[in-house]
Chains A and B, each alone.
With several copies, the nearest count.
Chain A
Amino acid sequence: MNKEIATAEEAIADIRDGASIMIGGFGLCGIPENLIAALVASGPRKLHTISNNMGVEGFGIGLILEAGMIAEHTGSYVGENKIMERMILAGELKVNLVPQGTLAEQIRAGGAGIPAFYTPTGVGTMVQEGKEVREFDGKKYLMERALKADFALIKAWRGDRAGNLVYRKTAQSFNPVMAPAGQITIAEVDELVEIGEINPDQVMTPGIYVDRIFESPFSERRIERLMVRGGEK
C-alpha cells in the first residue's frame, strides 16, 4: 500500500474547474501550504471551497480567493480577511456562513455516512432560514445536511505511505474531520515515514481515508498573531 505521490503539483493535477474542495486548518495554523500553492499555480476556476477560515490577505487559503478561483465558499469565519469581507459586502462572492460547530459536524457526517442531523445551534437566528425546525424533548433544533467534497486537502505532522496520519497540537483542527469527507483526500506531511513507524495507538487519521500523500518540501508556518508575555509583537 503505497500512496506516496512525488509533488504537490502532481497531487492536485486532476482538480478541475467547478470542483468542490475542503481545505484543513484553522486560520493559518495547520493549513496545507504546498497544496494551496500548487492549486493557485494550476489555476482551476469556479471552485467551491469549504474551510473554516479564508486565511489572511496574501497568505493561506486567501491566496486562492485572490487568484479569482472561487465561485462559492462555505465557512464560519471571515474575520481576518478584509478582501473576502469586501467581496461579500459587494455581493461578488457567494458565501455560505455556517456556525463552526455545525460546519465541523456537517463534514464529520459527510465522511461518516450520516446524511443529516439535528443541532441546537442557530435556532432563532438567520442560520435557521430555510431549514427544518424540530422539537425534541421540548427543545428546538435545526436539521443540517452533511457536507462532502470532491477533494480534501489536508496537512498533518507525520504520515506513513499507507496514509496513516498524526497531527501536532492545534494544527489538528479540521484536518482529521475533512480526511474522511473528500472523495479524494490528499495529505501533505512534515515528515513521511515508513509503514510501521507510527504506533498504531497514536494514529489519528487511519490510512483508509487518505488517497495521496507527500512530504512538504517547505512550510512557512506563518504566525497570525504573535502574542508573548508582555504583549503582541
Chain B
Amino acid sequence: MSLPNLTPELRRQRIAARVVHEMNQGYYVNLGIGIPTLVANFIPPDMEVVLQSENGMLGTGPYPELGQQDADLINAGKETITEIPGSSFFSAAESFAMIRGGHMDLSILGAMQVDEEGSLANWMIPGKLVRGMGGAMDLVAAAKRVIVAMEHSTKTGAPKILKKCTLPLTGYQVVDTIVTELGVIHVRDVGLVLAELADGVTFDDIQGVTEATLLASPGLREMKG
C-alpha cells in the first residue's frame, strides 16, 4: 500500500502540505533537510511562522531570484536562500543554544526509521552510509514538539515505522507525531495512535505497511491537506 496513484514528488508534497496544519501563528520552527524543507512552500501567507536555520539564522526567506544568490547566505541544506524583514544572523553556538534551550516551538525532520517508543534514526546505516547527525540530535532533544515528516515506506516498500529502530538512533523517545502520505500518527504512552487516514486508505491498508502496531484513535478522521 503506497497510494500508487501518487508520484514520489506528489507524495512528498502531500506530506509537506499536511505538516503545515501542525503550525500556529507566531511559531518558531526548524525545518530539516528533505521533505521538511518543502513545508515552507505551504505556509499560508497570513500565518506568521519564523523559520530557523541551524547554521545561524532566524527568519529564512525563499530561494533567491537567479543572479541574486549570495554565497554568504545559505540554509542548513547548503542551499542559497534570502533574508526577510526581521531576519537575524548568529553563531553556531548561539544557534544551538536556541535549539537546545527549548526555544523552538516545532522541529520537523525526515527519518529513515521511527519506532513505537518515538525513537528515530536518520544519520547512518552501519557499513553502508555515514551521513553524520549534523544538528538533528540537538533538534530532537530539545524542541517543544518533534514531528517526523517522511514517506511511509522505503523505496523498496519496506516499513519505516517499526516496533524498534534497528539503525543507530538520532534520538531516544523524542518524536511526538509522524506524518506520512498515508496518515498522521501520534506517539503516546499507550503506543502509536493513528489520528488521520489519507483519502482512500483504510486502517488495514496502513497497518499492512507498518511494522509497529497502530491503535485507531476514537476520533480517527480523514487526513487534512
Contact flag (A, B; Cβ within 8 A): yes
Give, as a whole number of angstroms, the nearest-CB distance from B105 to chain A. Answer: 9
Chain B residues within 8 Å of A116, by CB? none
B74 within 8 Å of A by Cβ?
yes
* A228 CA to B68 CA, complexed, in Å: 9
Interface positions, chain B 67-92, Cβ under 8 Å from A, are 68-75, 77-81, 83, 85-92
A76 within 8 Å of B by Cβ?
yes
* A127 CA to B123 CA, complexed, in Å: 12
Q: Are B172 and A196 in contact (CB under 8 A)?
A: no
B48 within 8 Å of A by Cβ?
yes
A105 within 8 Å of B by Cβ?
yes
Give, as a whole number of angstroms, the nearest-CB distance from B117 to chain A. Answer: 10
Q: Are A120 and B65 in contact (CB under 8 A)?
A: no
Produce 1/0 per residue, B38-73, CB < 8 A to A.
000000000010101111111100111110111111
Q: Are B100 and A170 in contact (CB under 8 A)?
A: no
Interface positions, chain A 1-43, Cβ under 8 Å from B, are 1, 26-30
With A112-B101, A172-B91 in contact, is A196–B85 under 8 Å at CB? yes
B135 within 8 Å of A by Cβ?
yes
With A29-B72, A77-B131 in contact, is A229–B62 under 8 Å at CB? yes
Q: Are A112 and B141 in contact (CB under 8 A)?
A: no
Q: Are B134 and A125 in contact (CB under 8 A)?
A: no
Q: Are A180 and B133 in contact (CB under 8 A)?
A: no
B95 within 8 Å of A by Cβ?
yes
Q: Are A225 and B26 in contact (CB under 8 A)?
A: no
Q: Are A208 and B97 in contact (CB under 8 A)?
A: no
Q: Are B65 and A206 in contact (CB under 8 A)?
A: no
Q: Are A78 and B132 in contact (CB under 8 A)?
A: yes
Q: Are B71 and A26 in contact (CB under 8 A)?
A: no
B103 within 8 Å of A by Cβ?
yes
Q: Are A172 and B171 in contact (CB under 8 A)?
A: no
* A221 CA to B73 CA, complexed, in Å: 11
Give, as a whole number of angstroms, the nearest-CB distance from B140 to chain A. Answer: 9
A200 within 8 Å of B by Cβ?
yes
Q: Are A125 and B78 in contact (CB under 8 A)?
A: no
Give, as a whole number of angstroms, the nearest-CB distance from A33 to chain B. Answer: 11
A92 within 8 Å of B by Cβ?
no
- Which residue of A101, A127, A162 has the most chain B CB atoms within 10 A of its CB atom? A101
Chain A residues within 8 Å of B170, by CB? 125
Chain B residues within 8 Å of A194, by CB? 85
Q: Are B137 and A173 in contact (CB under 8 A)?
A: no
B93 within 8 Å of A by Cβ?
yes
A186 within 8 Å of B by Cβ?
no
Interface positions, chain B 89-122, Cβ under 8 Å from A, are 89-103, 119
B213 within 8 Å of A by Cβ?
no
Return the chain B residue nearest A233 by Cβ. B66
Chain B residues within 8 Å of A160, by CB? 86
* A80 CA to B112 CA, complexed, in Å: 18
* A180 CA to B137 CA, complexed, in Å: 21
Say which residue of B71, B88, B131, B172 sits within 8 Å of A125 (CB atoms): B172
Return the chain B residue nearest A200 by Cβ. B87
Give, as a whole number of angstroms, the nearest-CB distance from A59 to chain B. Answer: 12
Q: Are B141 and A196 in contact (CB under 8 A)?
A: no
Give, as a whole number of angstroms, the nearest-CB distance from B145 to chain A. Answer: 15
Give, as a whole number of angstroms, the nearest-CB distance from B55 to chain A. Answer: 4
Q: Are B59 and A200 in contact (CB under 8 A)?
A: yes
11 residue pairs from A and B, CB less than 8 Å apart: A88-B130, A98-B133, A104-B91, A108-B93, A113-B142, A119-B141, A121-B100, A170-B56, A207-B58, A207-B86, A208-B28
